[in-house]
Amino acid sequence: MSAKKNILWYQNAVFYELYVRAFRDSNGDGHGDLVGVIEKLDYLKELGVDCIWLLPLYPSPLKDDGYDISDYYGIHSDYGTVEDFDRLITEAHKRGLRVITDLVVNHTSDQHPWFVESRASRQSPKRDWYVWSDTDQLYQDARIIFLDTEDSNWAYDEKTQQYYWHRFYSSQPDLNYDNPEVAQAMLGVMRYWLDKGIDGFRVDAVPYLFERDGTDCENLPETHAYVKEMRRFVEANWPEAIMLAEANQWPEDVRAYFGDGDEFHMAFHFPVMPRIFISLHLENAQVIRDVMARTPAIPSGCQWCTFLRNHDELTLEMVTPEEREMMWSVYAPDDRMRLNLGIRRRLAPLLGNDLRKIVLANNIMFSLQGAPVLYYGDEIGMGDNIDLPDRNGVRTPMQWREGANVGFSEAPADKLYAPVIDSPEYGHKRVNVAEQRVNAGSLFNRMKELIALRKRYQSFFSGSQEFIEVAHPEVLAVVHCCDKGELAIFHNLSGSDVSFSLHHPPMQGAALTEVSCKDGRLSNPGQPTSAQVELDPYGSLWLLRDNSL
Ligand code: BGC
């Protein structure tokens, strides 16, 4: 995979978010590990994804599942060794799979030696590596993110009688990026992992790196300046590596993280995600069109990442209060399904385990510009366990086959890091990879087809994207245009058949090909003026006008 040619490899890549602890336990200790991931690389290749994103692997007391790092230069013993990690990178690359890892820049664990030293005394040389204050009254305009557990962003340290700043759990003190030593130390961490051959980082909790009184302490100019420094460093030494921003913000604010093409290569598009669920509920495509209309253009060489679910709660920060109430009442009717400002459920249960809706939601994601990111287990429609605390209910063992421990581990069931899902609807008998692989109509096979389809037509997704209105509010229609022609994609968000005539001038009178016609079709294609699009309930249709024909 040499330089220039693949330099923009990420722009149309399909990403797979993988939680190592949940994926495959190779040594029977009840925890998934890196060797287990190596065993399953061929599965990922078969699915067709291009890049794996690994959740944090570092040593950690696991108060926030590894997002509380106590050593940036190691691998958590549950996961294996640094040598296992090196082998994983080699084996993935051998198969043409890329690997990015989580980089947690904003905070460390309170057990990280930097913090242990910092809190030891006010005179500690590392005191200024974290944000300390005599009062808890500074930065009052900063919101609290973990609303269900924290009542302040300050925590009091008895011994040194000062407060330290934390945007997440109080066991995750924020690093002080005003201190150049901290900024430098994080570049050192990046160097270590990039030198190992990883293909980039998903950078955690980007907006919160700096604090300034009188602001909400998000997206500050200082943060952008540091991101530019990170980018220069990456670009100069590992030109193919990417930086992907986790910035749960409105598109206008996230746009700033692309800079002039000199900050992040990629950023998650948070606001479109809940709107896919809203539009499905309302059977109305308008909210998707609206949020895309307020999504600014981004510099060439940059790309959005789209997603439906991830390892966190389905966040409802980027919706109106009315939309949030609606999402809660529709998708989280039981209080236990709610967490902070979100919903702690997986994709299949959210969509009532209706295969048509699950495929449609994915199809919508795959038909938008941006690189789609799948969450492990959602490609087979895994369920969740709302009896587990925090976000653990969506992080249960991957269901490989029917039977003991779902093929995840050979450990006794009570030694597993989390129980496998065993409900009648989502348990191993109904939901597992082995069975879905051989069943042509399974979600797994539909996902494989969708990934292949998207990759076959990927050049269209680098051109222009236009949302067109058809006479039916329940239809989302998007047209991608490039020098090869036009690719028009139609989705029926409703549970009824829909049929309408195609009034998109570039496609009228042209020879059109149905490139995906499982649950939609074109009638009268020979008579372009009366060409009709017909969509089954929750059906989609991809139509191509090929310039070369
Ligand atoms: C991660 C969470 C984590 C938090 C604090 C996030 O945005 O996705 O899982 O708890 O950062 O690190």
pLDDT for 469:
86
Q: How confident is the model at residue 508 (pLDDT cuts 50, 70, 90)?
A: confident
Find where tokens 């944090």 sit: 56
Each residue's pLDDT tens digit, 35-57 = 999 999 999 999 999 999 999 99
Give the residues across from 154 on adjacent strands.
Answer: 165
| Residues marked as catalytic | 204, 246
Each residue's pLDDT tens digit, 154-174 = 999 999 999 999 999 999 999
Taking only Cα atoms into account, the Rg of the chain, rounded to an integer number of angstroms, comes to 24
SS3 at position 343: strand
pLDDT for 525:
59
64 touches ligand 1 (CB under 6 Å): yes
Residue 282 CB contacts under 8 Å (≥ 6 apart), including other chains: 493
CB 110, CB 172: distance < 8 Å: yes
Q: Mutation test of ligand 1: which of 147, 312, 344 has the most ligand atoms closer than 8 Å to its C-beta? A: 312
Tokens of residue 420, six digits: 């496998």
Q: Give the C-alpha separation, 311 to 18, whole Å.
A: 9
246 touches ligand 1 (CB under 6 Å): yes
What percent of the chain has a predicted confidence (pLDDT) above 70? Answer: 97
pLDDT for 245:
98
Nearest-10 crossing angle of helices 321-331, 272-282: 60
Q: Is the pLDDT of residue 253 over 70?
A: yes
168 touches ligand 1 (CB under 6 Å): yes
67 alpha carbon – ligand 1 mean position (Å): 6
CB 305, CB 269: distance < 8 Å: yes
- Report the relative pairing of strands 485-492 and 342-343 from DSSP bridges: unpaired
pLDDT for 528:
55
Each residue's pLDDT tens digit, 461-506 = 988 999 998 999 999 999 999 999 999 999 999 999 999 998 888 8
What percent of the chain has a predicted confidence (pLDDT) above 90? Answer: 91
Atom of ligand 1 nearest to the CA of 248: 7
CB 49, CB 38: distance < 8 Å: no
Q: Is residue 361 within a helix (H) or strand (E), and if so which, with residue range?
A: helix 355-366
By alpha-carbon position, which residue is closest to atom 12 of ligand 1? 67
334 alpha carbon – ligand 1 mean position (Å): 24
Each residue's pLDDT tens digit, 186-206 = 999 999 999 999 999 999 999
Q: Which amino acid makes up residue 418?
A: A
How confident is the prediction for the chain on average, in pLDDT?
95
Helices (H) and strands (E) in the chain, counts: 15, 22
pLDDT for 377:
98
Each residue's pLDDT tens digit, 353-380 = 999 999 999 999 999 999 999 999 999 9
183 alpha carbon – ligand 1 mean position (Å): 20
204 touches ligand 1 (CB under 6 Å): yes
Mean pLDDT, residues 391-409? 97
Longest dimension (CA), the chain: 82
Find where tokens 């040499």 sit: 2
Q: Give the C-alpha separation, 15 to 194, whole Å.
A: 19
CB 437, CB 443: distance < 8 Å: no
pLDDT for 3:
41
Q: Bigger pLDDT: 433 or 532?
A: 433
pLDDT for 526:
58
Each residue's pLDDT tens digit, 462-473 = 889 999 989 999
Tokens of residue 110, six digits: 């309170």
Which phi and psi angles does 106 have, rounded to 5°?
A: -75, -35
Q: Is the pLDDT of residue 216 over 90?
A: yes
pLDDT for 502:
87
CB 244, CB 100: distance < 8 Å: yes
CB 276, CB 364: distance < 8 Å: yes
Tokens of residue 535, six digits: 């969509």
pLDDT for 511:
82
CA distances from 430 to 325, 383, 406 (A): 32, 10, 11
In the sheet that holds 132-133, the strands lie side by side as 132-133, 162-165, 154-157
307 touches ligand 1 (CB under 6 Å): no
Each residue's pLDDT tens digit, 62-116 = 999 999 999 999 999 999 999 999 999 999 999 999 999 999 999 999 999 999 9
423 alpha carbon – ligand 1 mean position (Å): 28
Tokens of residue 104, six digits: 């947690």
pLDDT for 259:
98
Q: Is the pLDDT of residue 297 over 70?
A: yes
Mean pLDDT, residues 399-425? 97
Which phi and psi angles does 187 have, rounded to 5°?
A: -65, -35
From the number of C-beta atoms within 10 Å of its C-beta (0-12, 13-18, 19+), residue 185 rates as middle
CB 430, CB 397: distance < 8 Å: no
Beta strand spans in 246-344 (E): 266-268, 303-307, 314-315, 338-339, 342-343
Nearest-10 crossing angle of helices 272-282, 355-366: 140
pLDDT for 517:
56
Tokens of residue 438, six digits: 């051989």
Q: Is the pLDDT of residue 4 over 50?
A: no
